[in-house]
Copies of this chain bind each other. A is one copy, B any other.
Amino acid sequence: MFILVNLKAYPCDPVEIATAANTVAESSGVRIAVAAQAAHLERVSETGVETWAQHVSPNGHGSFTGSTLAEAVADAGAVGTLINHSENRRKLADIDGSIEAAERVGLETCVCANNPEQTAAVAALSPDSVAVEPPELIGGDVSVSSADPDIVKDAVSAAAAVNEDVDVFCGAGVSTGDDVVSAGELGATGVLLASGVAKADDPKAVLEDLVSGL
């Protein structure tokens, strides 16, 4: 299981969380990455943690002021990127373009989708993974296993029917080690979570709990 922590624009210290994530990843052997604001990527990657961007634009080099150029994100140390997060929905053609831009510079891609049909649609564009985020679970306290386990199973089936090489992550309803285990049992190979870590009083303790059942 892969644990991908999205810091969003939360008022947390990205370096503190990145350092904790790196420590827990090394001690547990579990893969953990931190997705940070573009302007924070350089300092986050300097902690040694696996560093992801929260978005990359579909464009390449050129006249694109204010874009998030995949090459710049990679320069700053990112090795992966989220695309089409529910807070940052993108046009279909641009999701396709952003995946291509990310692959051009070697960034791993995780595209978000909010139901099994959209998961299948995204899988057809061949990203490395799709994070299915049932809207009713985003940012809430309800665990995916208790609330809507079928949506993860259905997303896993839907993606596999279109493209067997695409992993499915559980993109909401994960805040504890039990949730991570449940997500894995439903067929997910990773989890995408945010506030559970980024808003925690003790992010390291939360991360240790998240990996505890693996």
Residues of A within 8 A of B (CB): 6, 8-11, 35, 37-43, 53-55, 57, 59-69, 71-73, 75-76, 78, 82, 84-96, 113-115, 117-118, 120-126, 139, 158, 161-162, 194-195
Q: Known: A40-B75, A120-B124, A124-B124. Is A63-B113 also a contact (CB below 8 A)?
A: no
Copies of this chain, complex-wide, total 4
- Whether B39 and A63, one on each chain, are in contact in the complex, defined by CB atoms closer than 8 angstroms, is no
Q: Known: A37-B69, A76-B39, A162-B124. Is A95-B96 also a contact (CB below 8 A)?
A: no
Which of B39, B95, B123 is in CB contact (< 8 Å) with A72?
B39
Which of B39, B40, B96 is in CB contact (< 8 Å) with A118?
B96
A15 to chain B, nearest CB (A): 10
- Contact residues in B for A64 (Cβ distance below 8 Å): 8-9, 87-88
- Whether B88 and A66, one on each chain, are in contact in the complex, defined by CB atoms closer than 8 angstroms, is yes
- Whether A92 and B124, one on each chain, are in contact in the complex, defined by CB atoms closer than 8 angstroms, is no
